[in-house]
Amino acid sequence: MAWDTADTLGMGDVVSNESLANLLKEERRFAPPADLAAAANVTAEAYEQAKADRLGFWAEQARRLTWATEPSETLDWSNPPFAKWFQDGTLNVAYNCVDRHVEAGNGDRVAIHFEGEPGDTRAITYAELKDEVSRAANALLELGVRKGDRVAVYMPMIPETAVAMLACARIGAAHSVVFGGFSADALATRIKDADAKVVITADGGWRRGKPSALKPAVDEALTKVDGVEHVLVVRRTSQEVGWTEGRDVWWHEITERQSAEHTPEAFEAEQPLFILYTSGTTGKPKGILHTSGGYLTQVAYTHHAVFDLKPETDVYWCTADVGWVTGHSYIVYGPLANGATQVMYEGTPDTPHQGRFWEIVQKYGVTILYTAPTVIRMFMKWGDDIPAKFDLSSLRVLGSVGEPINPEAWIWYRDRIGAGSKPVVDTWWQTETGAIMISPLPGVTETKPGSAQVALPGIAATVVDDEANEVPDGGGGYLVLTEPWPSMLRTIWGDDQRFIDTYWSRFPGRYFAGDGAKKDDDGDIWLLGRVDDVMLVSGHNISTTEVESALVSHPKVAEAAVVGAADETTGQAIVAFVILRGTASEDEGLVDELRNHVGATLGPIAKPKRVLPVAELPKTRSGKIMRRLLRDVAENRALGDVTTLTDAGVMQLIQDKLPSAQ
């Protein structure tokens, strides 16, 4: 267990942080727009209703879905922390996301406005989506995929990615989507852990004006793992691909010959829907398992409540990649369960120009935008004149997710994108929570720049101190969730004990989120970032241990300690301290060589921004590296308490060595 010292939790940093003091000086307040409030999907009553009868509230939300068998039981919490929601209900998730909208007469409604990076477009209606998902489901069946199997998905941001996920759901196979920016090694580890039978990929996707290959990484990954029977390949870029006869199958060839009819089977509410890997502190990524009925209930409800979605008139756009949980819950399952019309964009925000996002908002008349603070900060850097060139007047709700949004970025978002009048909803949640947990409601909450503020109706969150006591208003500590929720993770795939240890042991009976948080004088919650050793770089979780292991796998590196240092653009930037092997010298190319090595091992997102060779690393007596001291160095701060160090002189050596870090 990693809970034995405050050093590894970095708690001192969390509560004494200067930025926290600044954050809580923030006194600007913004009332909900009157017109939005008057017609809002959810009003203040929902909080009261859920407080009076939490389970009754969720039972009512479950009725948003179409069940083959209505559940009679809401929650079975007889064996915590293993929850069962709507246990005796049965449903088909893909039917709920697609077919039922067609049956309700909305088959002609556009489900996905796809915008490719090179400018190619496709509008896919719900009726067309139903045919495509059915053909893909039939294709997976032909390839031998059955209920309970796992399918890995390694794809660019194209409609076939959503189709592939829904096809898996339709036949009861669990998908494991691996972000297309991950390396072959990372993909191999995930394929192996989930024991995937089929991999769905593409030749490549378009990024920054060029085709970016995916298939070679799959080919390489499959030299390292057994058990994959077929690779299904979508043609997107038409670049050349290696081909393994008998194993590889073109998506267009197999789907073309399938029937567009497929009768969806009803599965139990607790049927596994997907596994999504998230970084852990002990190297091996954690396969977060989500199931069907509870997950779909909460993503549908939150998408309806937090974004005030009106499916007949709104055009919704979430800019996340489908490889992250935001893409799962708020591109695929939530919006489609609600019959939304949405935009899906393949590429980068600055291709072919830095106004691409705003051009897309203008072109499709986007009304609800959901993006990340790191993206907002990038736009701020590029200049106010860029969004000012476009007509953004269609927008009515602005969402943020992925990391704490600093008040400056929040205000910029509201002013420059939202014409100074559109509500910003800062949504806190995690891969593990499956759906949004803490967020303002756009028609109800008086918003505060930089704060996620309040737990949604039906959700119980609070902040506790080291001794598990709830902190008073004005106090800081750890964010915990005190009651089970429908879209909660069910376990870590194949490792129930790790599930218990990671989330339920720090504060028995409560879910430990790993985030620092503070309650302001109104009792509103402000998130302060991770308290463990997971870094957040541009909204992506990367564990220090993974990067350290990658560095140490380089022949010139003996030891490494990695920290996330505050960074204006990316939230945190990776700074690595390395001890070189005896014979290695600090020659010129070394730093780049090490950065590239990490990039090749873990994927470009994990490349350290700085690599600093040092003679020694600060360690506690129990042998743990004291990352918080290294963070102090990396962030040019005075050193915190060094009394638990084996040798306090080490820090002096590091600082002497690093004039550049001062």
> Smallest gap, in angstroms, from Cβ of residue 436 to ligand 6R9?
8
Give the torsion sign (CA, 503, 505, 507, 510): positive
301 contacts ligand 6R9 (rule: CB under 6 A):
no
| Phi then psi dihedrals of residue 181, to 5 deg | -85, -5
> Smallest gap, in angstroms, from Cβ of residue 546 to ligand 6R9?
14
Q: Are 556 and 581 in contact (CB under 8 A)?
A: yes
Q: Out of 99, 131, 515, 567, point to the residue binding ligand 6R9 (CB under 6 A).
A: 515
406 contacts ligand 6R9 (rule: CB under 6 A):
no
The reply to whether 486 sits in an annotated binding site is: no
> Smallest gap, in angstroms, from Cβ of residue 95 to ligand 6R9?
26
Q: Among 220-228, 291-299, 427-435, 561-569, which window interacts with ligand 6R9 (CB under 6 A)?
A: 427-435
Q: Among 189-197, 389-397, 398-406, 651-659, which window interacts with ligand 6R9 (CB under 6 A)?
A: 398-406
Q: Are 32 and 443 in contact (CB under 8 A)?
A: yes
> Smallest gap, in angstroms, from Cβ of residue 442 to ligand 6R9?
15
Size of the site for ligand 6R9 (CB under 6 A): 22
The reply to whether 552 sits in an annotated binding site is: yes
Q: CA Rg, the chain, in Å? A: 24
User: Closer to ligand 6R9 at the Cβ: 138 or 298?
Assistant: 298
> Smallest gap, in angstroms, from Cβ of residue 633 to ligand 6R9?
23
The Cα–Cα gap between 646 and 495 comes to 34
Residue 555: cis peptide before it, omega within 30 degrees of 0: no
> Smallest gap, in angstroms, from Cβ of residue 335 to ligand 6R9?
15
Q: Among 47-55, 108-116, 324-332, 459-467, which window interacts with ligand 6R9 (CB under 6 A)?
A: 324-332
Nearest residue to 175 via CA among 158, 191, 157, 156: 191
> Smallest gap, in angstroms, from Cβ of residue 372 to ligand 6R9?
8
User: Residue 146: CA atoms inside 13 Å, Cβ hemisphere, count?
Assistant: 1
Site string for ligand 6R9, 268-297 (x = CB under 6 A): ----------x-------------------
Q: Among 250-258, 423-431, 609-617, 642-650, which window interacts with ligand 6R9 (CB under 6 A)?
A: 423-431
User: Closer to ligand 6R9 at the Cβ: 523 or 649?
Assistant: 523
Q: Out of 157, 340, 401, 542, point to the residue binding ligand 6R9 (CB under 6 A).
A: 401
452 contacts ligand 6R9 (rule: CB under 6 A):
yes
449 contacts ligand 6R9 (rule: CB under 6 A):
no
User: Closer to ligand 6R9 at the Cβ: 325 or 480?
Assistant: 325
User: Closer to ligand 6R9 at the Cβ: 172 or 399?
Assistant: 399
The reply to whether 428 sits in an annotated binding site is: yes
H or E element: which one contains 634? helix 627-634
> Smallest gap, in angstroms, from Cβ of residue 603 to ligand 6R9?
15
The reply to whether 430 sits in an annotated binding site is: yes
Nearest residue to 11 via CA among 627, 648, 635: 627
Q: Among 126-134, 181-189, 429-437, 557-565, which window interacts with ligand 6R9 (CB under 6 A)?
A: 429-437
Site string for ligand 6R9, 236-275 (x = CB under 6 A): ----------------------------------------
**What would the DSSP string read from start to end of 512-523?**
EEEEEEEE-TTS
At what angle are helices 590-602 and 184-194 packed, to 10 degrees?
Answer: 30
* 3-class SS of residue 292: coil
Q: Are 140 and 167 in contact (CB under 8 A)?
A: yes
The reply to whether 427 sits in an annotated binding site is: yes
> Smallest gap, in angstroms, from Cβ of residue 431 to ligand 6R9?
3
Q: Out of 81, 404, 443, 603, point to the residue binding ligand 6R9 (CB under 6 A).
A: 404
The reply to whether 655 sits in an annotated binding site is: no
| Phi then psi dihedrals of residue 489, to 5 deg | -60, 145
The reply to whether 402 sits in an annotated binding site is: yes
The reply to whether 431 sits in an annotated binding site is: yes
Give the torsion sign (CA, 491, 494, 496, 502): negative
Q: Out of 99, 185, 248, 426, point to the residue binding ligand 6R9 (CB under 6 A).
A: 426
> Smallest gap, in angstroms, from Cβ of residue 536 to ligand 6R9?
6
402 contacts ligand 6R9 (rule: CB under 6 A):
yes
User: Closer to ligand 6R9 at the Cβ: 536 or 561?
Assistant: 536
The Cα–Cα gap between 43 and 444 comes to 6
At what angle are helices 627-634 and 649-657 packed, to 10 degrees?
Answer: 30
Helices (H) and strands (E) in the chain, counts: 25, 30
Scan residues 517-546 and list those touching ligand 6R9 (CB under 6 A).
527, 530, 536, 541
User: Closer to ligand 6R9 at the Cβ: 506 or 530?
Assistant: 530
Strands (E), 557-609: 557-567, 571-580
Q: Among 248-256, 260-268, 424-432, 580-588, which window interacts with ligand 6R9 (CB under 6 A)?
A: 424-432
Question: Could you give the C-alpha distances from 576 to 528, 551, 609, in angstroms and in order?
Answer: 22, 9, 8
The reply to whether 403 sits in an annotated binding site is: yes
Neighbours of 92 (CB within 10 A): 24
The DSSP letter of residue 619 is B
513 contacts ligand 6R9 (rule: CB under 6 A):
yes
The Cα–Cα gap between 622 and 638 comes to 24
Question: Could you give the C-alpha distances from 449 to 136, 382, 462, 571, in angstroms and in order?
Answer: 44, 21, 20, 17
H or E element: which one contains 268? strand 267-268
The DSSP letter of residue 422 is S
The reply to whether 175 sits in an annotated binding site is: no
User: Closer to ligand 6R9 at the Cβ: 20 or 167?
Assistant: 20
Q: Out of 154, 324, 345, 358, point to the residue binding ligand 6R9 (CB under 6 A).
A: 324
User: Closer to ligand 6R9 at the Cβ: 280 or 355?
Assistant: 280
| Encoded amino acid at 566, one letter | A
| Phi then psi dihedrals of residue 236, to 5 deg | -120, -50
In the structure encoding, which two tokens stand for residue 232, read together? 């299904």
Q: Are 450 and 409 in contact (CB under 8 A)?
A: no
Neighbours of 54 (CB within 10 A): 19
* 3-class SS of residue 231: strand
User: Closer to ligand 6R9 at the Cβ: 237 or 572?
Assistant: 572
Q: Residue 405, exposed/middle/buried by CB under 10 A (0-12, 13-18, 19+)?
A: buried
Q: Residue 611, exposed/middle/buried by CB under 10 A (0-12, 13-18, 19+)?
A: buried
Residues flagged as binding site for CoA: 207-210, 326, 538
Enumerate the known binding-site residues.
207-210, 326, 402-404, 426-431, 515, 530, 538, 552, 554, 557
Q: Residues marked as binding for Mg(2+)? A: 552, 554, 557
Footprint of ligand 6R9 on this chain (CB under 6 A)? 278, 324-326, 401-404, 426-431, 452, 513-515, 527, 530, 536, 541
